[in-house]
Structure 1
Amino acid sequence: MSASFKSLGLSPETLGAVKRARFGTPTPIQAQAIPPALSGRDVIGCAATGTGKTAAYLLPMIERFAGEKGTRGLILTPTRELAQQVEEQARFFGEPLGVLPVLIVGGEDMNAQVDALRERPSLIVATPGRLVDLLGVKAVNLHRIQTLVLDEADRMLDMGFLPQINQILHALPRERQTLLFSATLGADVTRFGQRALHKPVRVEVTPSGTPAPRAEQHLYIVKPEEKWPLLLTLLSQDQASALVFVRTQQRADKMKELLAAAGHKSAALHAGRTQAQRRQALEGFRRGQYRCLVATDLAARGLDVDDIGHVISLDVPHGPEDYVHRIGRTARAAASGRASLFALEVERRTLQDIERIIRQELPRTEVPRRDPIFKREMEAFLAKQRDPGPRQPDHGRSKRPEGAAPGRHARTHGKGRPKGPAGQ
C-alpha cells in the first residue's frame, strides 16, 4: 500500500498546502526521505530529476522551523534559476506556518539582499558565489542554521563550487542537519558526503544515473549538415514544447534566431544572458509564449517547467551525466515525454559512455531522410553549396567561423566556404 502525506507525520497546515499544490500521493523520494529528515537525521537522496526532490526536503524543513524565530535553514543550489524555483515553492509551502524564505543570488541588487537578511527570514535560498560575497562583508550570519540543504550537489561540484561550499561549511555550526540531494552520486559527491554528513540515511529510489523512466528515447546518427533538417522535421510532427540543448552560448543564440525565422517562437537560456533575460526566457517558455527554449547545459539541472513534450539534444553533451539531466527535463512526475539525441559517427565513444552510465543501450532511430521537410532543407543546403553567392572581399581580416579548428581559418572559396544552419 502506498504512503500518504498524512502518514509521513506532516501537520494539518502543511497538509493543507500540499492539497493546494494538488499533490496526490508522495513520490518514492518524498515517501522515503521526509520521515528521516523530519526526525532530524542527515539524508543523502538520489532520484531521477523531476521526481519531487524539492518537496522532499522543503516540507520537513518547514515543519521543523514553524514557530521558531531567526534564520534556521540554508538551501544551496548551483544556478539562479533553480534557486528562484526553490524559493517560490518554499514561500508557497511555508507561508501557512509563518516560515518565509529570502533569495540570495548573483545578478540582483546586493543591498536589497542585505536589507532582506536583516528581516531574519526563516530560510535562505542561495547560490554559493553570492552567499560567499555576503559572508565576506559580514552581511549574513549563519551561526544559528539548523539545516543545510545541498540541492543538485553533483552539479555544484562539477561547476567548481567546492571552495565556496567549504567556506560556507566553515561558517555553519558543526552540530547541524545536512540534506544532500542529487540525480547522480558519483565519486566526488560520495567523498563530499562522507566528510560533510553525519551517519546519513541513504535514500536511492533509482540507481544513480537512471534516466527518467517515462522518457521515450531516440538516438539519431547524423551528418553535421543533417542536424537542422532533422530538427525542423521533428518539430513538424507535433505541437509539443521543445527544449533544445546545444553546447555553446553562441550556438544557442544562433539557433534561437534560425528557429524563429522558421516560424517557431523561441528563446535562449545560457550564462551569457542577463538575469532579466534569463528570467524572461524561462517565464515565457513556462507560459507557452515560446514553443522552443534553446539552452546550454546551464538549464539541464533544476529547470522546473511542467509538460515539456520533447527534449532535443542537437549536440552530444560534454559529459555523460549531463545527458541524464537533459532528458530529466521531460517525463517529469507522472507525465511522459520524448528525448532525441543527435550524434555524429565520430562521437560513438561518447555514446558508449552515456550508455554505460544509464545502464542501457540508446534506442537507435532511423533518420527520416524521405520526409518532405527534411528533403526540402537538405536540397536548400546542397543548393547553397553549389552556388554560395558572390564573394565579399575581407581586406585581410579573415575570421574563423564557428566550428573551425582553433588557429585555422576556413577557406573563403569553393566548398570550404562556411555554410548556413545545417553545418553549425
Structure 2
Amino acid sequence: MSDTAFSRLPLPPALLTTLQQLDYLQMTPIQAQAIPHALAGKDLIAQAKTGSGKTAAFGISLLLRLKPPMFRVQALVLCPTRELSTQVANELRRLARFQPNLKIITLCGGQPIGPQIGSLEHGAHVVVGTPGRIADHLRKGTLQLDAVSTLVLDEADRMLDMGFIEAIEGIIEAIPGQRQTLLFSATYPDEIRTLSTRFQRQPVEVSVESVHSHSQIQQWRFPVDNRNKNPLLVKLLGHYRPASCVVFCNTKQQCEEVCSYLTQSGYSAAPLHGDMEQKARDQALVLFANGSCSILVATDVAARGLDISNLAAVVNFDLPHSAETYVHRIGRTGRAGREGLALSLYGDREGHRVKAIEEYFGQPLPLGELQELQEEEAPLVAEMVTLCIAGGRKDKVRPGDILGALTGEAGIDSSEVGKINILDRVAFVAIRRNSANRALGRLINGKIKGRRFKVRIVQ
C-alpha cells in the first residue's frame, strides 16, 4: 500500500468508499502534508499553488468535525470570488456524499441576497462565500457564526490583494476563539504571516513547491511597442496555436478591446471582467469550459477560481503588478503533470516587472525570438458549439433528459455530445461543430421530457 494512499488515513469506511468512487486514491503532496495535521485539530498554514488539491486537503477534516444533528453553521470557508466559492462548495458536496443530510450553501456577491436569506432561515452546516457578502449577512443579522468550529481562508493572499482584510477581521470577530483555522495561500507575503499571528494558534506550516518549474511550464517574454501588442498577440496565437488560452489584461477596458480585436481576427474569444452581468460571466465560463470558446480575455479578479483542467496556454497581455500574481496566472496551465505554455508581452516601461518576476524565480525569464515566429495560419476554430435550452433545474430538466433527446429522438451519436450544464432556468449543451445544426433542428422540432423548449445556438 502506498504511503500516500487515502486508505492509510484514519477515516471512516463510508468516507473511504466515497473517496474511491470519486477516484481519490492517492493524495497529492499538499493533501499528504496537510490532512493528518488537520485531522489532529491543529491550525494550519498551507502554501500550495492553484490546482494542487487544496479543497480536499481542508474539506475532509472539515466534514468530519461536523455534527449533522445540530442544524447550525459549523464551518465557514472564505474565498476571494464567487467562481471559486462555487467550485469549492461543489467539491465539498461531492466529498460529503458519505454523510447524509448535510447542507452546504454559498453566499456570494453578484447574486440577490433575498434567496440567500431564505436558505439561511432553513439552516445550514457549511457556508462557503466571499468576505463581502458574508459581512453583509452578519450586518443584517441573517447569519450566525457562534457555532463555527472550523474556519478556512482559501487563497488568502488573493483576498488580501483584493482589499478584504477589514471584512475578514470583522467576520473572524463573530466566530468563537475556540476553533480550528486553516489558511491556504499560493504565496506567503508578510501580510499572510501577520494575519496568521493574529488569528491562529501555534499553526503548523506545510508547503509544496509553489514556484512553477521551467520544465513544467514553458515561459517566454516578448518585448513589444504598445501600439503593436494586438498584432503580436495574434501572431503568437497563430504560431503556438493553443487549443485553449486565457489572455490576462490589467483593466476591464483592455479586456473588451483585446477581445474585440481577436474576434475580428477570426478567433472565438469572450471577455470576463467585473463589469459584466453575472449571467454573461456564467455563460462565458460555460462556453470556455465546454470547448465552444477557445480564448478567455480576463482580469485577475474575474478569472479567480477558474476550474479548467487542461488549459493549454496563458498569455500576459499586460504584465501583472506583482510577481505573486504572475505565479497565480501561469499556474492555471501545466497542471496534473501536463506541459503548459506562458507567454508575456511587455513594453519599455515594464522592465521592472520582468526583473521582479526573475528575482522571484531566481533565474532569467527566457526571451522569445520574434523572427522565429512562423507566419500565422488561419485561427483555430473551437471544436464545439453550444446550444442554449430555455429550461433548467427549476423546470426539472436533467442532463440525462437532454442527452436522451439528442441521442434517442435526434439520432445524434453520444460521442458528438460534450458537457451539459444545467442552471436554474436554462441549460447549455456542447455539440461537436459538424453536428450542431442537426442537433439544433432536432431539438427545435422535438421534445425534452415530453415538452417543447426554445433552443438557440450561443454565439
Contact 1:58 1:90 in 2 (8 A): yes
The residue aligned with 1:234 is: 236
Is it true that 1:84 corresponds to 2:79 in the alignment? Answer: no
Measured after TM superposition, the shift of residue 6 of structure 1 is: 1.2
Contact 2:272 2:303 in 1 (8 A): no
Which residue of 205, 217, 220 maps to 1:218?
220
The residue aligned with 1:30 is: 31
Which residue of 74, 94, 100 maps to 2:76?
74
**Residue 294 of structure 1 aligns to a residue in which SS?**
strand
Measured after TM superposition, the shift of residue 167 of structure 1 is: 0.7
Mean Cα displacement is larger for which, 23-32 or 229-238?
229-238
AA at the equivalent of 1:199: Q
Measured after TM superposition, the shift of residue 181 of structure 1 is: 0.1
The residue aligned with 2:420 is: none
- Distance, in Å, in 2 between the alignment partners of 1:21 and 1:234 is 38
Measured after TM superposition, the shift of residue 286 of structure 1 is: 0.8
- Distance, in Å, in 1 between the alignment partners of 2:263 and 2:246 is 14
User: What does 1:22-421 correspond to in 2, within 5 Å?
Assistant: 22-65=23-66, 67-70=68-71, 71-98=73-100, 99-206=102-209, 214-236=216-238, 237-368=240-371, 371-373=374-376
Identity value in percent: 39
Measured after TM superposition, the shift of residue 35 of structure 1 is: 0.9
- Distance, in Å, in 1 between the alignment partners of 2:245 and 2:253 is 19
Contact 1:29 1:53 in 2 (8 A): yes
AA at the equivalent of 1:9: P
The answer for unaligned runs of 5 or more in structure 1 is 375-424
AA at the equivalent of 1:62: L
Contact 1:44 1:200 in 2 (8 A): yes
AA at the equivalent of 1:19: Q
Measured after TM superposition, the shift of residue 19 of structure 1 is: 2.7
Contact 2:236 2:373 in 1 (8 A): no
Mean Cα displacement is larger for which, 356-365 or 23-32?
356-365
Contact 1:77 1:128 in 2 (8 A): yes
- Distance, in Å, in 1 between the alignment partners of 2:94 and 2:67 is 14
Contact 1:222 1:367 in 2 (8 A): no
Measured after TM superposition, the shift of residue 264 of structure 1 is: 1.5
- Distance, in Å, in 2 between the alignment partners of 1:348 and 1:200 is 38
**Residue 219 of structure 1 aligns to a residue in which SS?**
strand
Contact 1:49 1:212 in 2 (8 A): no
Give the structure-2-normalised TM-score: 0.77
Measured after TM superposition, the shift of residue 335 of structure 1 is: 2.5
Mean Cα displacement is larger for which, 231-240 or 347-356?
231-240
The residue aligned with 1:413 is: none
Mean Cα displacement is larger for which, 2-11 or 212-221?
212-221
**Residue 264 of structure 1 aligns to a residue in which SS?**
coil
The residue aligned with 2:405 is: none
Measured after TM superposition, the shift of residue 370 of structure 1 is: 6.0
Measured after TM superposition, the shift of residue 299 of structure 1 is: 4.0
Identify the structure with bigger relative contact order (alpha carbons < 8 Å, sequence gap 6+). Answer: 1
Contact 2:68 2:125 in 1 (8 A): no
**Residue 376 of structure 2 aligns to a residue in which SS?**
helix
The residue aligned with 1:385 is: none
Give the structure-1-normalised TM-score: 0.84
Return structure 1 stretches of 4+ with deviation > 4 angstroms: 209-213
Aligned CA RMSD, in angstroms, stands at 1.9
Pair 1:65–1:278, CA change in 2 (3 A) = same
Measured after TM superposition, the shift of residue 61 of structure 1 is: 1.0
**Residue 65 of structure 1 aligns to a residue in which SS?**
coil
Contact 2:222 2:368 in 1 (8 A): yes
**Residue 318 of structure 1 aligns to a residue in which SS?**
coil
String of CA shifts for 1:143-172, please: whole Å, max 9, x gaps. Answer: 000100000101111111111111101100
String of CA shifts for 1:288-332, please: whole Å, max 9, x gaps. Answer: 111000001114542221111000111111222110000011112
Contact 2:230 2:258 in 1 (8 A): no
